[in-house]
Amino acid sequence: MTKEIRIFKLFLMMKTLIKMFIIIVTVNCSSCSNKAEIHFDNIDLGKIEIKDTVYGEAKIQNIGNKPLKINRVVASCNCTTTGYDTTLIAKGDFVVIKYKISLKDTGYFSKKVTFSANTKDQFHSFTISGVAFENTLKNIDQ
């Protein structure tokens, strides 16, 4: 085999390898394009009385090209409960994770809510924080 034929075959092999690399990168990038964006990384409730129950929600927008699916939501303690929509969320739409916090102790609190989704990074979380206090003032009417 002549030197020119070997160089030509090497050139064709390199060209094929480059095409395969481009295909692999394209396929991998298209499967990673579904991302969730959390609008509130930290939700600060400010001061709340310990006997109060706080209800709230965190909105998550699908900024990817594929439908977003929230698989599971878990709170860091028993004093926080959550609820969420299990349907597929289209590009540009929002899913709301609802939460309820009931506190028994005074002082600063920080509760983490973690959820899993069909995104490149499977797990995401946000924190709900504030200061719980006990109202020790007596009602004048009593």
Collect all residues with Cβ–Cβ distance below 8 Å to 61 and sequence separation of at least 6.
36, 37, 39, 92, 93, 94
Helix-strand-coil split of the chain, %, nearest 5: 20, 45, 35
Does residue 30 have a pLDDT over 70? Answer: no
Per-residue pLDDT of 82-97, as tens digits, reads 888 889 999 889 988 9
Could you name the CATH architecture of 36-133? Sandwich (2.60)
Confidence of residue 14 (pLDDT cuts 50, 70, 90): confident
Euclidean distance between CA atoms 29 and 20, whole angstroms: 14
Euclidean distance between CA atoms 96 and 102, whole angstroms: 20
Domain residue extents for the chain: 1-31, 36-133
